[in-house]
Amino acid sequence: MADNSSPDYKTLFLRAEAEREREAELRRQAEEREAQEAELRRQAEELRRQAEEREAQGRVRSQPTTLEELIKGCHDSFSRPLQVGTPSRSTKGSIPPPTGKYCPTSLRFWSSCPVQLQEIYDSVSTYLQPAGKDAPRLFTSLLVLNELGRRYSSRKLRSEKDLEHYERTAVEDHVHDIITELCKIPDARERFRLGDGILFENHENLLQTSEESDAQLDESSTKHPKPDSFCIHRINDSTNTLITTVEYKPPHKLSVENLRAGLRSMKLWEEIVQSDTIPKSDELNKDEKLRYNAEQLTCSVLVQKYHVMIQA
C-alpha cells in the first residue's frame, strides 16, 4: 500500500522558490526606496548648497569692495563691454585746426610712463591694500558696479556727452572715492600731496577765459565751439588749485588708428605747424595718406589740450 503521507517535494520546492522570489522582490523594492530616498537627500543637499552659495555670492556682491576688487570690477563691468557707435549714427563735426593757439615745440616718447604708473599703483596699494593684512572694504560693491555696467553695456558711445557720462560713472566717481580714502591717511595725504581731496569741475569758466584770449590773439580766426572739457582741482580748506584739465574726444572723431599712426616723437612746430607743403592725394599711397591725416588730427588735439593747460 502506498504511503499517502509522503511530502510533495515539487509543491514544497515551488512554494519555497515563490517565497524566495517574494523576499527578493521585497528587498529590491526596499533597496529602490532607499536609493530614491538617498537621491532625494542628495538633491535636497545640492539645493541647500546652491542656496548657501547664492547667499554667499550675494553677500560678496553686496559688500563693499577692496581696491583690487574695485579695479577689476570696473574693468569687467565698464571697460570690457564698451562699444562705439558707427560714425553715421554719431555726432557730426570734426576736430578743428588749432589756429592761434599755444603749441608745444616737440613731442617725445615717455618711455618711463608704465614704470611710473606701476610705482604709483604700488604706493597706493601699500595704504589701501597692505601686504599681510586683510584689505579694507571701502569702495562700491560689485552688485552696484555690475548693474551700472549692465546699463552702459546696452549703449554705444556716439557723442561727447555719452563719453562724459561714461567717464563720470566708470572712472571719475571711483577715482574720487580712492583719493577720499587716501586723504584719511595722513602719511598718504602728505606723500601724494592730496590736500583735502580733489574736485572734478566743469570747464566752462576756464574755457570762456581761454576763448577771450584766443580772440585777442587772432580776431580774424573762426570761433569754434568749446571743447568738451573739465578741470581737476586740489582742495585745500577753502582754496581750489587747478591740477590739470581733461577733454573728451569720442572715438568716432579720434580713433585708435589715428593715434597709432599720428603719435610719434617729432619736432611738432617745425614738422607740422611750419610745414607749408600739403601733399596731393594722388601723390600719396594709402598708408602715407592715412599717416598724414592722422598726424594732422592728432597734433590738433594735442595743441588744443596744450593751449588750455597754458591758459589755465
pLDDT in tens, 300-309: 999 988 888 7
Comparing CA positions, the residue from 246, 250, 222, 264 lying closest to residue 98 is: 222
pLDDT given for residue 5 in this prediction: 66
Q: How far apart are CA 68 and CA 60, in angstroms?
A: 14
Write out pLDDT tens, residues 237-290: 888 888 888 888 888 888 888 999 999 999 999 888 887 666 666 666 777 888
Q: 290 in a domain, yes or no? A: yes
CA atoms within 13 A on the CB side of 200: 18
Q: Hunting for cell 545640492 — which residue is that?
A: 46
Q: 148 in a domain, yes or no? A: no
Q: Which amino acid is at 11?
A: T
Write out pLDDT tens, residues 95-141: 888 888 899 999 999 999 999 999 999 999 999 999 888 999 999 99
Q: 301 in a domain, yes or no? A: yes
Maximum separation of any 2 CA atoms in the chain, in Å: 148
Indicate if the pLDDT at residue 204 is higher than 60.
no
Q: 207 in a domain, yes or no? A: no
C-alpha cell at 240: 581750489
Q: How far apart are CA 43 and CA 50, in angstroms?
A: 10
Q: How far apart are CA 149 and CA 131, in angstroms?
A: 30
Indicate if the pLDDT at residue 182 is higher than 60.
yes
C-alpha cell at 91: 555726432
Indicate if the pLDDT at residue 207 is higher than 50.
no
Q: 289 in a domain, yes or no? A: yes
Residues in the chain: 312
CB atoms closer than 10 angstroms to residue 60: 13
Note down the domain range covering 278: 254-312
CB atoms closer than 10 angstroms to residue 299: 23
**How many structural domains compose the chain?**
1
C-alpha cell at 162: 555719452
Q: 287 in a domain, yes or no? A: yes
Residue 114 in contact with residue 227, Cβ under 8 Å? no
Q: Which amino acid is at 155?
A: R
Q: What is the distance of C-alpha 273 from the center of its chain?
A: 36
Q: 226 in a domain, yes or no? A: no
Q: How far apart are CA 165 and CA 172, in angstroms?
A: 10
Q: 309 in a domain, yes or no? A: yes
Confidence (pTM): 0.73
CA atoms within 13 A on the CB side of 69: 21
